[in-house]
Chain A
Amino acid sequence: MMHKCFKSLLVAAFSFFCIGIFTPTFAQGNDEKKEEKKGFNAKEVIFGHVLNNHDFHILDIVGDNGEKSPISIPLPVILYSEQRGLEVFMSSHFHHGEESYRNYLMLTNEKIEELKLDPNKYNAQDIVALDDKGEIDSSVRIYDISLTRNVVQMLIALFIFTWIMLAIAKKYKNGHGVVSAPKGSQSLLEPVITFVRDEVAKPNLGSSYERYLPFLLTIFFFILINNIFGLIPGSANVTGNIAFTAVLGIISFVVILFSSNKHYWGHIFNPPGVPFGVKLILVPVELISVFIKPFALIIRLFANMVAGHIIIICLISLIFIFSNLSKYAGWGTAPFSIAFTVFIYFIEVLVAFIQAFIFAMLTAVFIGQAIEGAHHEGDHHDDSVMV
């Protein structure tokens, strides 16, 4: 019995050795890429949606010869460089990366391959400066401050959000909902604001919650409305952009820092009731955690949003990937893929609300930790969240 097992083991090991070492030899054929007609490139679609673009891409019309002509809304391109000054023009002049304009060129994936540029240094939608001969001039450092897709969508969301809030605030100013029962949009918004005040602000901030309530409400609604806008098919991915979430995280960090008091820093550098040996380890950890907590806020919002978008696009791309194999496989995948996508869409709407709530809640928790005064004996704990 043991002998048989050992023999089988030897056979298995020898087989692996053979597979690994011995290779079939083929005559070297033609290595060039002969295919002009490219199949569905899932990676390009995913990164085209998740990253920032200089236009709102709507759809591609595939012509008779397989050529894709894109239809998109162009956006202004604003470039600044020391050598050339400020330049403003519409991104339609680039013709989707095919032509250069005023000695600037917008790179696309095809152009990066064509010009044999380093893919680690140059990405799609980057704008590079050309010199008079048409070669890339790397000495010109361009600051790209264009109104890109993310910026325009964020501004639209901001405008709609401010409009809604001001309209509802005017209703309150006129007395509706103050001396009478709230009606219409007031009854939509009032429970949400009361929820943020009673579950997020009051338990964590104690008596000085009113100072921070506007900030927390702004964070909550701003992230919420940008999340919801990002879920519209064809829209830009604003909250899934690390720069956007980084700025929100930095603002929260600054608010936390400015509201910290002596007790907070005393607890970090001199934790009470801790033996000296442990203090040596604890103080660097506490110091790092001051920076890690906003960083975690940033990464959490970014990763949740971008993961959701990528999942939705991947599920839809499955249809096209399968259709590359055979037309019927594509049609067969479609019902399952769409069903899954609808299911994931529901989850993404839930995640949109949850992530906005979590960002606001954790900011409130960290501010609460910073403004905490000296502990008294027998403090009455009123938290709904045990921190």
Chain B
Amino acid sequence: MDLMTILLSATPMANAGGAIGAGLAAIGAGIGIGQIGKGAVEAIARQPEVANDIRANMILTAALVEGAALFGIIVGFLAMVL
């Protein structure tokens, strides 16, 4: 199997596309949740007594961002399977 045959066949392309898509979604999740964490830690540093409230908001927002990233990962997986 040479490079041209590999590049022209469908299944490895679908698998590669799915994997790259899932990786990009993970990058998005990393950046997003990192910024949430940064904002939360800075806010706690400014006002330590509301740390619990800030932590609850941080976890909620992180779960929402992670939900969006997982959409992307599921689509990447579907690209491999369908």
Interface positions of A (Cβ within 8 A of B)? 19-24, 199, 296, 299-300, 303-304, 307, 354-355, 357-358, 361-362, 384-386
Contacts and interface: CB of A to CB of B under 8 A. Distances in A.
A199 B56 contact: yes
A296 B4 CA distance: 40
A-side interface mostly: helix
B74 interface: yes
A299 B57 contact: no
A255 B67 CA distance: 22
B10 interface: no
B57 A21 contact: no
B67 A296 contact: yes
21 contacts: A20-B2, A22-B2, A23-B2, A23-B4, A24-B2, A299-B70, A300-B63, A300-B66, A300-B70, A303-B70, A303-B73, A307-B70, A307-B73, A354-B59, A355-B63, A358-B60, A358-B63, A384-B57, A385-B56, A385-B60, A386-B57
Interface of B: 2-4, 7, 53, 56-57, 59-60, 63-64, 66-67, 70-71, 73-74
Nearest to B54: A384
Nearest to B22: A307
Nearest to B6: A20
B60 A303 contact: no
A286 B21 CA distance: 28
A303 B67 CA distance: 8
B71 to A, nearest CB: 6
Contacts of A24: 2
A249 to B, nearest CB: 12
A170 B55 CA distance: 34
Given A19-B3, A23-B2, A303-B74, A361 B66 contact: no
Nearest to B59: A354
B55 to A, nearest CB: 11
A28 to B, nearest CB: 13
B3 A20 contact: yes
Contacts of A299: 67, 70-71, 74
A253 to B, nearest CB: 16
B66 to A, nearest CB: 7
Nearest to B7: A20
A165 B64 CA distance: 30
Given A299-B70, A299-B71, A300-B70, A20 B4 contact: yes
Contacts of B74: 299, 303
Nearest to B74: A303
A244 B63 CA distance: 20
A354 B4 CA distance: 47
Most chain B beta-carbon contacts within 10 A, residue among A296, A299, A303, A362: A303
B59 A357 contact: yes
Contacts of B7: 20
Contacts of B66: 300, 304
B40 to A, nearest CB: 13
A354 B63 CA distance: 8
Contacts of B60: 358, 361, 385
A23 B60 CA distance: 54
Nearest to B57: A385
Nearest to A21: B4
A21 B53 CA distance: 62
Contacts of B59: 354, 357-358
Contacts of B73: 303, 307
Contacts of A300: 63, 66-67, 70
A296 B59 CA distance: 17
Given A303-B74, A307-B73, A385-B60, 9 more contacts: A299-B67, A299-B70, A299-B71, A300-B66, A354-B59, A358-B60, A362-B64, A384-B53, A385-B57
A240 B7 CA distance: 34
